């Protein structure tokens, strides 16, 4: 078994990925969009249906595998990255996907998340981030903003939130991107890029919870507010945003800053040109922190994508090297190795 | 009694020695060398390392003492011995820690060079025990081990630190002389071990020989001893620890099942050695994953089992507690994983380097909901090999998680093992589902096992998970009757394993006044106690359990034929409780939770007490 997924000419449609189960998310939930974009993108990847495996933990997001007609495993709270890691190591020719939420992956499963990133296990990890606990009916989550009033924080949450893209970059993930449930085209593009990445791909999806956190991302998704609050990261392109495409991002020391391109002081040449393949994670880290800044637009797109030997590649290489040096293991010689003696 | 060089040689059938010193004195190595040489000479033997949890506790203190007990014999033996005949104490702390366990009139060899004021203070001695009469009940040999090693190595050019470190070989040399052992196996080992450091080969070789010649020429030792080879069955042997036997057993199971072996594990004392051994066997295609925590260890194994590997996770008590939730996932998804728990003293961190049998209840019941799984227990170091294979065989055949309990004592203890050839072991009959026309995720075969459909198989795409599943179809189901049915099916499947395991054979009469029921690592001690009780004219029978859930089918019938049932355990009576609730029988408990193996002598006394001294 090689650490390679054979890409073939396969005729599949989005229907082939729909299971016979009724989808049971709340009407209007952002998860429907994610499911639809996955089912639209998967047929394009050239991977046979039986080679896909979806692993999830617990939460609304984690019902995802039931709705995909692939191999699927709805596991326990927070552990999906660890279970997916075991599956990928055991069976390297599978395309292994993790569906998780901000409670599942950022809280109870935080440890597994950072270590899967660190080890560069070849998993595609999707974080459905709605900044709230949905399935347990509305408590604040590790990505909820400070001061949030919920059932478990009636006087406002006093927690500082995680920024999942910063966390992934800090844990050395080799692919880090962000998209939004209400931008299907962009999401499809990000899913495809994540799928084609060799190594761990982390995709954060801002996803609206209609019941407990409705509108959390509307400033980033609605036509009139989006252009001034969101910025698209395009590889090799200067960072421009705004309704009139008249605003840009420059770097002053380590601080990103918004400048007006019509003011005469700054031109396009002064702006940050996004390089997603930069070996150093520093710039990507700075960009990811724009998310938390009230005066800066929130970036969408690929923050970072680099090629580094995956866990599986290294493991297979080591097994091959040791096997070459020692010869293929023979159980009888292992049994009879070491200091032995005969009794007649 | 013969004489050699003017010294008498006494034949003994059975000797227990204890090597003890500071953690940095190399006592585990010295003990292991003595064991290997002794095994090579054909004695039966059994060892018990006793080391502190601290890697290098402050030198000279009692809690920094590391000991290695070794029992060898010309007869078949089963324990590391209750009380040492000979204690080698490299410093006052080692003497203080173990002097109380030495046999009356036993021998104590001390390194007198270490008995200075500072070390005596560190060991809490108010006066020097070599100068007062506190050791008058023993034969004490005060030997200048350090200074004689320094003198012997003065021309080697070794650094003073390395010279002093060689003193354990000097002590070993004395013991080799005293017990008439061949130096050759250790000399060979030194050559291989220090192949890159010729100066250390020279130094350690000189130290070993100097110790041996010192025994021969010095006038202080009055006797030397000989222990004839034991009458063991013919075959090729090696000395094996429980952890190594477990690791090799798992590799053998992967060969017998024709499956890739996957180990997901997080380092924990005393189970880490299994991870260490398996990490070396890369050329067997073994995939070891050192996980970020205990939970990831088992979770990744569940993922690997879903992916069609022979999946194992290894741990010790606190780690098993952390794996609990995931073990339940393996129960409900009916995936074949093997969980190996090398039990240690608890609760909590407890006694990490000491042995105990107190995780039986945790293994049996330590999960939420009705969560039955198979529980096995290995009883001796070499038996770990067989039970590791059994755990894998049952997991794969019945699509069920299996917990294999070993313990710190059998995991680190060693005994001679007659090595089997792989073709003496039956192949497994596991197979994967491949037929889309008949496949249903929770359809069951005659063993109630569901099909194992591995991702990558065309047409068998399906979803499993921790939510209750509808029987046969495997769809999520909240139906009350279905849940009731699934709980019963999961339990019935585990109980069905009883049809597939050997029935118990009673050691002794099939009925009578007293039956001893043991499980796991106490088998050696109980066997010895029974032999000794019979020598005293007592009639006692014995069974030992390697299969706990389910029990062997004939256990109940056996229990009902005895007036008294004695259950010795290194816990507060966990098997006893299970026997009572399962069979409604009265049991007599014998429990000592000291972090150490039970003592033969104590169990023998308990037998005598129950039988009223003798029963003729």
Query: What pLDDT is attached to residue B614?
Result: 46
Tell me, yes or no, if A332 comes closer than 8 A to chain B by beta carbon.
Answer: yes
**Is residue B165 a part of any domain in this protein?**
yes
Tokens read off for A105: 């992956």
Tell me, yes or no, if A257 comes closer than 8 A to chain B by beta carbon.
Answer: no
Q: Largest Cα–Cα distance of chain B, in whole Å?
A: 87
Domain shared by B63 and B154, yes or no: yes
Domain shared by B222 and B247, yes or no: no
Contacts from B131-136 at CB under 8 Å and sequence distance 24+?
A: B135/B99, B135/B108
Give Rg (Cα) of chain B.
Answer: 27
For an interface test with A, which of B259, B295, B300, B476 has the most A Cβ atoms less than 10 Å from its Cβ?
Answer: B300
Beta bridge partners of B263: B288, B312
Tell me, yes or no, if B234 comes closer than 8 A to chain A by beta carbon.
Answer: yes
Query: What pLDDT is attached to residue B369?
Result: 98
Secondary structure E strands in B366-440: 374-377, 402-407, 414-418
Tell me, yes or no, if A40 comes closer than 8 A to chain B by beta carbon.
Answer: no
Q: What is the pLDDT of residues B73-124, one digit of tens each?
A: 998 888 998 899 999 999 999 999 999 999 999 999 999 999 999 999 999 9
Nearest CB to A82 within list B252, B299, B311: B299
Tokens read off for B168: 């354990």
Of chain B residues 419-438, which have a CB less than 8 A from chain A? 419-422
pLDDT at B615 over 50: no
Residue with tokens 């007599």: B588
Give the residue on B whose Cα is nearest the Cα of A56.
Answer: B465
CB B567 within 8 A of CB B541: no
pLDDT in tens, chain A (344 residues): 445 666 666 789 999 999 999 999 999 999 999 999 999 999 999 999 999 999 999 999 999 999 999 999 999 999 999 999 999 999 999 999 999 999 999 999 999 999 999 999 999 999 999 999 999 999 999 999 999 999 999 999 999 999 999 999 999 999 999 999 999 999 999 999 999 999 999 999 999 999 999 999 999 999 999 999 999 999 999 999 999 999 999 999 999 999 999 999 999 999 999 999 999 999 999 999 999 899 999 999 999 999 999 999 999 999 999 999 999 999 999 999 988 888 88
CA B239 from chain centre, in angstroms, equals 13
d(CA B593, CA B355): 9
Q: Which CATH class is domain A14-232+298-318?
A: alpha beta
Nearest CB to A82 within list B296, B458, B459: B296
Residue with tokens 């270490």: B114
Which residues make Cβ contacts (< 8 Å) with residue B379, sequence separation at least 6?
B387, B410, B518, B519, B520, B521, B522, B523, B524, B544, B546
**Is residue B487 a part of any domain in this protein?**
no
| Geometric angle at alpha carbon A260, from A255 and A263, rounded to 5° | 130
Tell me, yes or no, if A316 comes closer than 8 A to chain B by beta carbon.
Answer: no
Q: Judging by DSSP bridges, how do beta strands B65-73 and B44-50 pair with one another?
A: antiparallel
Tokens read off for B149: 């090693």
**Is residue B466 a part of any domain in this protein?**
no
Subunit contact A341:B233, Cβ cutoff 8 A: no
Nearest to A257 by CA among A199, A227, A296, A210: A296
Buried b (16+ CB within 10 A) or exposed e, A106-125: bbbbbbbbbbbbebbbbbbb
Tell me, yes or no, if A72 comes closer than 8 A to chain B by beta carbon.
Answer: yes
For an interface test with B, which of A23, A82, A321, A337 has the most B Cβ atoms less than 10 Å from its Cβ?
Answer: A82
The Cα of B404 is separated from the nearest Cα of chain A by a number of Å equal to: 21
CB A260 within 8 A of CB A266: yes
**Is residue B430 a part of any domain in this protein?**
no
Q: Judging by DSSP bridges, how do beta strands B7-12 and B65-73 pair with one another?
A: unpaired
Domain shared by B93 and B68, yes or no: yes
Sign of CA dihedral B604, B606, B609, B610: negative
Mean pLDDT of chain B: 94
Domain shared by B309 and B411, yes or no: yes
The Cα of A321 is separated from the nearest Cα of chain B by a number of Å equal to: 9
CB A99 within 8 A of CB A58: no
Sequence ranges of the domains in chain A:
14-232+298-318
CATH of the domain at B215: 3.40.920.10
Residue B558 phi, psi dihedral angles, 5° rounding: -65, -45
CB A72 within 8 A of CB A41: no
Tell me, yes or no, if A338 comes closer than 8 A to chain B by beta carbon.
Answer: yes
pLDDT at B1 over 50: no
d(CA B607, CA B616): 14
**Is residue B451 a part of any domain in this protein?**
no
d(CA B311, CA B263): 6
- Write down which residue in B424, B443, B470 finishes a domain: B424
**Is residue B516 a part of any domain in this protein?**
yes
Residue with tokens 């279970």: A83
Tell me, yes or no, if B255 comes closer than 8 A to chain A by beta carbon.
Answer: yes
Domain shared by B197 and B302, yes or no: no
Give the residue on A whose Cα is nearest the Cα of B332.
Answer: A75
Alpha-carbon distance values, B313 to A78, B246, B288 (Å): 19, 12, 10
Q: Work out the number of other CB atoms within 10 angstroms of the CB of residue B485.
A: 14
The Cα of B414 is separated from the nearest Cα of chain A by a number of Å equal to: 13
Q: What is the pLDDT of residues B421-468, one digit of tens each?
A: 999 999 999 899 999 999 999 999 999 999 999 999 999 999 999 999
Instruction: Please give the helix or strand (H or E) that residue B547 lies within, else none.
Output: strand B547-549
Query: Could you please report the per-residue DSSP string of B180-236?
Result: T--SHHHHHHHHHHTTT-HHHHHHHHHHHHHHHHHHHH-SS--EEEEEPPP-PPSEE
The Cα of B224 is separated from the nearest Cα of chain A by a number of Å equal to: 25
Nearest CB to A49 within list B281, B421, B461: B461
Q: What is the pLDDT of residues B497-555, one digit of tens each?
A: 999 999 999 999 999 999 999 999 999 999 999 999 999 999 999 999 999 999 999 99
- Report the number of distinct structural domains present in chain B: 3
Subunit contact B456:A51, Cβ cutoff 8 A: yes
From chain A, pick out residues whose CB is under 8 angstroms from the CB of B292. Answer: 82, 111-112, 115
d(CA B331, CA B506): 33
The Cα of A251 is separated from the nearest Cα of chain B by a number of Å equal to: 37
Subunit contact A319:B283, Cβ cutoff 8 A: yes
Of chain B residues 357-396, which have a CB less than 8 A from chain A? none
The Cα of B131 is separated from the nearest Cα of chain A by a number of Å equal to: 43
Confidence (pTM): 0.92
Domain shared by B319 and B394, yes or no: yes
Residue B102 phi, psi dihedral angles, 5° rounding: -70, 140
Secondary structure E strands in B235-293: 235-241, 261-265, 287-290
From chain B, pick out residues whose CB is under 8 angstroms from the CB of A323. Answer: 282-283, 285
Q: Would you call A312 helix, strand, or coil by DSSP?
A: helix
CB pairs under 8 A between A and B: 205
Tell me, yes or no, if B546 comes closer than 8 A to chain A by beta carbon.
Answer: no
Nearest to B92 by CA among B139, B137, B126: B126
Nearest CB to B329 within list A49, A53, A76: A76
Subunit contact A83:B299, Cβ cutoff 8 A: yes
d(CA A66, CA A31): 13
Residue with tokens 């999401």: A187
Which residues make Cβ contacts (< 8 Å) with residue A235, sequence separation at least 6?
A274, A275, A276, A277, A302
d(CA B333, CA B351): 34
Query: Could you please report the per-residue DSSP string of A72-98?
Result: EEE--TT-HHHHHHHHHHH-TTSEEEE
Which residues make Cβ contacts (< 8 Å) with residue B275, sequence separation at least 6?
B263, B265, B267, B288, B290, B314
CB B339 within 8 A of CB B296: no
| Geometric angle at alpha carbon A78, from A141 and A124, rounded to 5° | 100
Question: What is the average per-residue pLDDT within B467-494?
Answer: 97
Domain shared by B244 and B204, yes or no: no
Subunit contact A334:B419, Cβ cutoff 8 A: no
CATH of the domain at B280: 3.40.50.970
Instruction: Please give the helix or strand (H or E) that residue A341 lies within, else none.
Output: strand A340-343
**Is residue B117 a part of any domain in this protein?**
yes
Tokens read off for B262: 């996957």
The Cα of B172 is separated from the nearest Cα of chain A by a number of Å equal to: 19
Domain shared by B26 and B139, yes or no: yes
Nearest to A148 by CA among A235, A212, A223: A212
Domain shared by B137 and B283, yes or no: no
CB A62 within 8 A of CB B467: no
Subunit contact A50:B456, Cβ cutoff 8 A: yes
From chain B, pick out residues whose CB is under 8 angstroms from the CB of A334. Answer: 248, 251, 281, 284
Q: Largest Cα–Cα distance of chain A, in whole Å?
A: 98
SS (HEC) of B481-530? HHHHHHHHHHHHHHHHHHHHCCCCCCECCCCEEEEEEEEHHHHHHHHHHH
d(CA B314, CA B316): 7
Confidence of residue B489 (pLDDT cuts 50, 70, 90): very high
From chain B, pick out residues whose CB is under 8 angstroms from the CB of A343. Answer: 42, 229, 232-235, 237, 418
Residue with tokens 């690997």: B304
Residue with tokens 């197979």: B431
Please give the residue range of the domain that contains residue B395: 240-424
Tell me, yes or no, if B289 comes closer than 8 A to chain A by beta carbon.
Answer: yes
d(CA B533, CA B540): 8
Secondary structure E strands in B23-92: 44-50, 65-73, 86-89
Residue with tokens 């006087």: A155
Q: Work out the number of other CB atoms within 10 angstroms of the CB of residue A264.
A: 7
Confidence of residue B24 (pLDDT cuts 50, 70, 90): confident
B84 burial (CB, 10 Å; 0-12 / 13-18 / 19+) is buried
Domain shared by B36 and B145, yes or no: yes
CATH of the domain at B591: 3.40.50.920
Domain shared by B275 and B206, yes or no: no
CA B164 from chain centre, in angstroms, equals 32
Of chain B residues 69-88, which have a CB less than 8 A from chain A? none
Residue with tokens 């709705």: A67
The Cα of B457 is separated from the nearest Cα of chain A by a number of Å equal to: 6
CB B102 within 8 A of CB B87: yes
**Is residue B108 a part of any domain in this protein?**
yes
Domain shared by B180 and B263, yes or no: no
d(CA A327, CA B289): 22
Nearest CB to A91 within list B42, B291, B307: B307
Beta bridge partners of B340: B314, B404
pLDDT at B6 over 60: no
Q: Work out the number of other CB atoms within 10 angstroms of the CB of residue A222.
A: 12
Query: Could you please report the per-residue DSSP string of B323-340?
Result: HHHHHHHHHHHT--EEEE
């Amino acid at each position: 078994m090689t650490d390679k997924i054979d890409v073939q000419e396969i005729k599949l449609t989005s229907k082939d990925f729909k299971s016979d189960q009724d989808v049971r998310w709340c009407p209007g939930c952002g998860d429907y969009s994610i499911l639809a974009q996955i089912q639209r993108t998967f047929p394009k990847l050239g991977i046979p249906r039986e080679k896909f495996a979806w692993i999830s933990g617990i939460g609304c997001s984690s019902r995802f595998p039931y709705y995909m007609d692939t191999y699927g495993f709805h596991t326990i709270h927070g552990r999906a990255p660890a279970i997916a890691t075991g599956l990928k190591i055991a069976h390297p020719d599978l395309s292994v996907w993790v569906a998780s939420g901000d409670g599942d992956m950022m809280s109870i499963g935080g440890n597994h998340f950072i270590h899967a990133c660190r080890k560069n296990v070849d998993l595609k990890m999707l974080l459905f981030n709605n900044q709230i606990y949905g399935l347990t009916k509305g408590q604040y989550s590790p990505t909820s903003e400070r001061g949030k009033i919920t059932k478990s924080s009636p006087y406002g949450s006093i927690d500082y939130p995680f920024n999942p893209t910063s966390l992934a970059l800090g844990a050395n993930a080799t692919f880090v991107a962000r998209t939004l449930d209400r931008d299907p085209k962009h999401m499809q593009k990000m899913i495809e890029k994540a799928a084609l990445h060799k190594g761990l791909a982390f995709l954060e999806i801002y996803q609206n919870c209609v019941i407990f956190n409705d509108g959390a991302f509307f400033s980033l998704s609605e036509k009139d507010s989006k252009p001034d609050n969101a910025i698209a990261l395009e590889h090799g392109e200067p960072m421009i945003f705004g309704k009139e495409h008249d605003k840009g991002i420059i770097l002053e020391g380590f601080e990103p800053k918004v400048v007006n391109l019509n003011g005469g002081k700054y031109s396009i040449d002064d702006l940050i040109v996004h390089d997603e393949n930069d070996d150093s994670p520093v710039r990507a880290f700075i960009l990811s922190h724009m998310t938390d800044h009230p005066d800066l637009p929130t970036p969408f797109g690929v923050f970072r994508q680099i090629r580094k030997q995956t866990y599986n590649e290294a493991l297979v290489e080591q097994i091959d090297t040791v096997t070459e040096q020692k010869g293929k293991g023979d159980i009888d010689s292992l049994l009879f190795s070491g200091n032995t003696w005969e009794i007649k | 009694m013969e004489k050699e060089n003017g010294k008498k040689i006494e034949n003994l059938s059975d000797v227990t020695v204890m090597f003890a010193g500071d953690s940095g004195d190399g006592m585990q190595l010295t003990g292991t060398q003595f064991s290997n040489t002794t095994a090579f000479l054909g004695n039966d033997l059994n060892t018990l390392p006793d080391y502190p949890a601290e890697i290098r506790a402050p030198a000279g203190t009692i809690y920094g003492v590391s000991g290695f007990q070794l029992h060898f014999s010309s007869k078949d033996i089963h324990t590391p011995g209750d009380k040492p005949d000979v204690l080698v104490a490299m410093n006052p702390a080692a003497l203080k820690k173990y002097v109380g366990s030495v046999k009356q009139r036993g021998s104590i060899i001390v390194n007198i060079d270490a008995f200075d004021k500072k070390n005596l203070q560190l060991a809490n001695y108010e006066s020097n025990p070599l100068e007062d009469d506190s050791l008058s009940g023993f034969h004490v040999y005060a030997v200048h081990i350090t200074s004689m090693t320094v003198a012997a190595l003065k021309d080697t050019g070794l650094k003073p630190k390395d010279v002093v470190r060689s003193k354990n070989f000097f002590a070993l040399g004395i013991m080799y002389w005293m017990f008439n052992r061949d130096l050759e196996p250790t000399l060979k080992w030194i050559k291989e071990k220090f192949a890159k450091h010729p100066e250390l080969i020279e130094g350690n070789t000189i130290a070993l020989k100097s110790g041996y010649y010192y025994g021969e020429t010095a006038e202080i030792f009055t006797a030397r001893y000989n222990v004839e080879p034991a009458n063991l069955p013919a075959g090729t042997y090696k000395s094996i620890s429980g952890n190594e036997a477990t690791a090799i057993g798992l590799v053998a199971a992967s060969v017998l099942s024709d499956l890739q072996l996957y180990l997901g594990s997080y380092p924990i004392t005393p189970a880490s050695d299994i991870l260490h051994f398996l990490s070396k066997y890369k050329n067997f295609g073994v995939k070891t994953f050192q996980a970020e925590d205990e939970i990831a260890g088992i979770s990744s194994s569940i993922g690997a089992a879903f992916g069609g590997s022979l999946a194992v996770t290894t741990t010790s008590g606190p780690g098993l507690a952390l794996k609990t939730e995931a073990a339940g996932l393996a129960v409900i998804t009916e995936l074949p994983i093997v969980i190996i728990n090398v039990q240690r003293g608890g609760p909590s961190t407890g006694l990490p380097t000491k042995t105990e049998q107190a995780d039986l209840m945790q293994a049996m019941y330590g999960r939420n909901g009705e969560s039955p799984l198979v529980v096995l227990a290995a009883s001796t170091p070499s038996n770990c090999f067989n039970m590791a294979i059994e755990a894998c065989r049952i997991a794969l055949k019945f699509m069920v998680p299996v917990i294999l309990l070993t313990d710190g004592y059998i995991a680190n203890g060693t005994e001679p093992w007659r090595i089997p050839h792989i073709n003496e072991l039956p192949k497994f009959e596991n197979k994967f589902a491949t037929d889309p026309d008949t496949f249903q995720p929770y359809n069951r075969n005659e063993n109630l096992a569901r099909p194992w459909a591995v991702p990558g198989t065309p047409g068998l795409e399906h979803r499993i998970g921790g939510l209750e599943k509808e029987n046969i179809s495997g769809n999520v189901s909240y139906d009350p009757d279905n849940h009731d049915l699934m709980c019963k099916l999961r339990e019935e499947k585990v109980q069905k394993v009883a049809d597939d395991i050997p029935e118990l054979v009673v050691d002794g009469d099939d009925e009578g006044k007293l039956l001893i029921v043991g499980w796991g690592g106490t088998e050696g001690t109980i066997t010895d106690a029974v032999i000794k009780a019979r020598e005293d004219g007592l009639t006692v029978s014995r069974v030992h359990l390697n299969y706990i859930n389910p029990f062997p089918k004939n256990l109940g019938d056996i229990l009902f034929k005895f007036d008294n049932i004695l259950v010795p355990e290194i816990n507060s009576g966990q098997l006893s409780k299970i026997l009572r609730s399962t069979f409604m029988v009265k049991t007599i408990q014998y429990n000592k939770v000291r972090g150490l193996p039970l003592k033969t002598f104590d169990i023998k006394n308990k037998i005598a007490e129950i039988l009223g001294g003798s029963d003729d």
